[in-house]
Amino acid sequence: MPAVGALLAMPFSGRVAYRYALRPFVTVSIVAWCGALALPALPTSLGLLCVVLLVCGAAAGLGDMAMNAEGVLVEKLYGRSVMSSFHGFWSLGVLAGAAVSALASEAGVDARLQFGVEALALSAVGVAATRFLLNDPTSREVLAPPHFALPTRPVLLIGLVGLCAVFGEQAGTDWSALYIHNELGGSTSVAALAVSAFAITMASARLVGDRAIRRFGPVICVRLSGLCAAAGAIAVVFAPDLAAGLVGFALLGVGVALVIPIVFATAGRVGPHPGRSIAGVAGVAYASGLAAPGVIGGIAAASSLIAAFCLVAGLMAVMAFGAGVLRGGDGGHFG
């Protein structure tokens, strides 16, 4: 339901980004996103939970687009790649959120209290941070985009590269522990290490990835990333033991780390409306968030998780071969 909410909101977000200045748009969307965090612990029925998660996803989709548009603006003015580092801090936030939730669960803290306090704290931090953001000086110098905008062909092609990356991220985040436990016989604690190995290597690669992007350019980086991710998925498929499986998931994390930051940065330089292009790419890429669980789970049910990760390896190879579309939008000027 969060993915559905995000996909429903994103086609309208380009018009919203044009109508309102970027800094207040980022501020409002961050407050809405953080505030929505308090909602999922409140419903008392499955139907209400679905509605709440739909709202949370819509807020997340708008916030994601707004922050990436700001990131593209900062990167343009900075004159070199910095988007990967921004996404690296997102990955650190995932790790921090997981750690806080684990501690709260262990301490028996009520989820309503935990989410409410976190919503207030994160909203306050977000508002304080947005005071230093920039407005896009060119947003009013071009014609307004349509109220509802489907992605253009260049944006669609860039988004398909992102779709492959998100599929790989979903596979590593959602299925690595189950794979280690079911296919390689690891204990639950060892299985949890697979998620950690994937998340930590992805975060680390993003935090240092801008140097690689500046030196080699987006196309070469995505090609190498795709090959690394494919190698990781293949290592998982043929892993003879737990250690090899963990190494495979670590390689998968490194391989998918830089692709989404590069995809968003490239999309922001396509056409006269960066917000619309980013929203279009995000809509296509995040559709993978809807498809991946069902596709992987369906293949696993019909055959095995090993067969499912053969598909992951194939998509990572497609991502590598499709990297050439990232030459669009002046996406290679950092190389």
Domain ranges of the chain: 2-130, 153-330
Residue 183 DSSP SS3: coil
Quick one: pLDDT at residue 274? 59
Q: How far apart are CA 221 and CA 217, in angstroms?
A: 6
- Residue 323: helix, strand or coil by DSSP? helix
Using alpha carbons, list the distances in angstroms from residue 308 to 63, 180, 195, 287, 300. Answer: 32, 14, 17, 18, 6
pLDDT reading at 37 higher than 80: yes
Predicted confidence band at 328 (pLDDT cuts at 50, 70, 90)?
low
Q: Of residues 308 and 94, which shows the higher confidence score?
A: 308
Side chain identity, residue 16: V
Better-scored residue on pLDDT, 41 or 289: 41
**In the predicted structure, residue 330 carries a pLDDT above the cut 50:** no
Cα–Cα distance measured from residue 278 to residue 264, given in angstroms and rounded to the nearest whole number: 6
Whether the per-residue pLDDT at 15 is higher than 70: the answer is no
pLDDT value for 223: 93
- Per residue in 271-311, pLDDT (tens digit) is 556 566 777 777 777 776 677 777 888 888 888 889 999 99
Q: What is the pLDDT of residues 107-140, one digit of tens each?
A: 888 888 989 999 999 999 989 988 888 776 655 5
Q: What span, in angstroms and rounded, lies between the C-alpha atoms of 200 and 253?
A: 8
The percentage of residues in the chain with a pLDDT greater than 70, rounded to a whole number, is 86
Q: What is the DSSP letter of 20?
A: S
SS3 for 331?
A: coil
* In the chain, % of residues over pLDDT 90: 15
Model confidence at 265, pLDDT cuts 50, 70, 90, reads confident
Tell me: domain 153-330, CATH 1.20.1070.10, correct?
A: no
pTM passes above 0.85:
no
Instruction: Extract the tokens encoding 310.
Output: 């053969």
**Separation in Å, CA 267 to CA 21, 86, 201:** 19, 16, 25
Return mean pLDDT, the chain: 81
What pLDDT, on a 0 to 100 scale, did the predictor assign at position 332? 42
Q: How far apart are CA 223 and CA 232, in angstroms?
A: 14
| pLDDT mean over 216-235 | 92
229, pLDDT greater than 90:
yes
